[in-house]
Amino acid sequence: MTLEPDDRDAIDDLRAQERATRRATVPALEEVLYTPFPVLDHGFVRVVDYMGDDAAIVQAARVSYGSGTKSVRSDAGLIRYLMRHRHTTPFEMCELKLHVKLPIFVARQWIRHRTANVNEYSARYSILDREFYLPAAEAVAAQSATNRQGRGDTLPASAADEVRRRMDAHARAAFDLYDALLADGDGGDGDEGGAVARELGRAVLPLSTYTQWYWKIDLHNLLHFVALRVDPHAQAEIRAYAEVLRDLVERWVPVTAEAFRDYRLQGANLSRGQLEAIRRRLRGDVVDAADVGLSAREWRELATILGEEG
């Protein structure tokens, strides 16, 4: 992660400030407010602001004047009930605002989560930093033979190093052209003509270029993001960001985070056929996929849920 001295000074100034407030605060999240958490080689996530806590979810569900009930156990039970039965609106009462630095190709996956407010760094107005993502050798893998949008086996070290060398050279050459276009408009061969507009010059940069944005989202939709993007099938680069968000959720709303872990991350949804297979097996029947109308993939997924892989 790269932060300029001015950036570090600005963060230190923000963290040094103390403000009196009557609103609910969360000490564990206050502890890391404004602090950048490194992700990948140059990226980060940092909390800029937040609203609400576990008690705010209970308050909204009960439409009460207080912060919750007198019983923490009762509050936790209600939150678990809401999570279990997918009553989502009380979770929407809590919001988190983040500052995120990420490669453009990760941002293009991320922005598919449309239930958020986003303001991205403008490369029409400002000049992009010379920063691009270069995967670690262990992240360089072949195309999966069974998953068209995923990776297969990691490449041998020599092959991975060659891929990284070529990716690095390509990105550096693209930034050289970008800098030249913005400097004199001719790619550096000396002709007159002035600098190319920034909005046009950026077109030569690769998807590995880092961008930044402010991203504000409610807790319900944040949990949906985390559930999808921490999954082992998600791309490794966006999963790295999602894991940081998951950890921030655990700091922010620990009771909700525990329910989320129990019912979503480590729980399972079963189809009618999968549930029927389990019921029949509990009765002692021998069941195969055809007996309950499951495809081969659904049958494998059920075996994974039940810990019967292979």
Q: What is the set of active-site residues?
A: 229
Q: C-alpha angle with apex 112: 109 to 117, nearest 5 degrees? A: 115
Whose tokens are 């760094």? That residue is 121
User: One-letter amino acid identity for 173?
Assistant: A
C-beta of residue 237 within 8 angstroms of C-beta of residue 103:
yes
The rounded distance, in Å, linking the Cα atoms of 210 and 208 is: 6
Beta strands at 37-39 and 210-218: parallel, antiparallel or unpaired:
unpaired
The rounded distance, in Å, linking the Cα atoms of 45 and 102 is: 9
Residue-wise burial string across 272-305, b where 16 or more C-beta atoms lie within 10 A, e elsewhere: ebbebbbeeeeeeeebebeebebeeebbebbeee
The rounded distance, in Å, linking the Cα atoms of 137 and 155 is: 8
C-beta of residue 211 within 8 angstroms of C-beta of residue 102:
yes
